Amino acid sequence: MFKWFGKVNYSPYTKVSDFARYLKDGHLMGSKCKKCGSISFPPRADCDKCMSGDFEFFEMSGKAWLNSFTKVEAAPTGFEDAAPYIVGVVDMEEGGRALAWFGESIKEEEIEIGMELQVVPQVFEETEDIKVYYSLEKSGTSWVKV
């Protein structure tokens, strides 16, 4: 069900498609190689280290620190109605990075590189189809079932 992931989804079919199902239920999942134990976020089916294709999902803490950010004013096709939006890249506690929008719990002027953030599963409420994503929120923010 990876087509659920994102306002506009460009890659509906993937070996890690359960990521979106977990996300819908409030769980942010990374992948762990069953052979060598290497972890990845975003998740990947095929191990970067040992090339094994045998993986399992595990739940990330969502704790992260801001690496960099930008406020996008000129938006691409499909995102015009969302602009302007602030995109951040965060370093995750368990390793790996995420790129996501800042959510409503943080004011623009509070944003600074190095700040602690929480990556929180989200559902687009205004759409008929199921559409999920994750956002960057104030540290300590927890998932709320819609």
Partner 1 sequence: MTKRVGIIGLGHGVFGRRSDATVQELAFEAFAAALEDAGIERKELDASVIGSVPEYHKQRSLAGVVQEYLGLVPKPTWLTEVACASGSAAIRTAWMSIKAGVHDIVAVIGCQKMTELSTPEILALMGRVGEVQWESVFGTTFPAYYALFAQRHIHEFGTTREQMFQVAIKNHFYGAKNPNALFRKEITMDKAKASAQVASPLQVYDCCANADGAACIILACEDRAREISQKTVWLDGMGCATASMSVLKRPGLTSLPSAEAAAAQAYRMAGVTADDIKVADVHDCFTIAEIMAYEDLGFCKKGEGGRFIAERKTYIGGKVAVNVDGGLKAKGHPIGATGVSMTYEIAKQLRGEAGERQVPNADIGLTHNVGGIGQYCFVQVLRRD
Where do contacts with partner 1 occur on this chain (CB under 8 A)?
Answer: 5-11, 14, 42, 67-80, 82-83, 85, 87, 89, 96-101, 113, 133
Please say which residue, 7 or 63, places its beta carbon nearer to partner 1.
7
Nearest distance from C-beta of residue 30 to partner 1, angstroms: 12
Token pair, residue 101, equals 């929008």
CB of 22 to partner 1, least distance (A): 15
- What H or E segment, with its residue span, contains residue 33? strand 29-33
Q: Which is nearer to partner 1, 6 or 26 (CB)?
A: 6
- Report residue 74 as tokens: 């000129």
Spatial CA neighbour of 141 closest among 110, 122, 123, 120: 120
Q: Enumerate the H helices of 7-130 as residue ranges.
A: 18-24
Tell the smallest beta-carbon distance from residue 15 to partner 1 (Å).
Answer: 11
Tokens representing residue 5 in the block: 């992931």
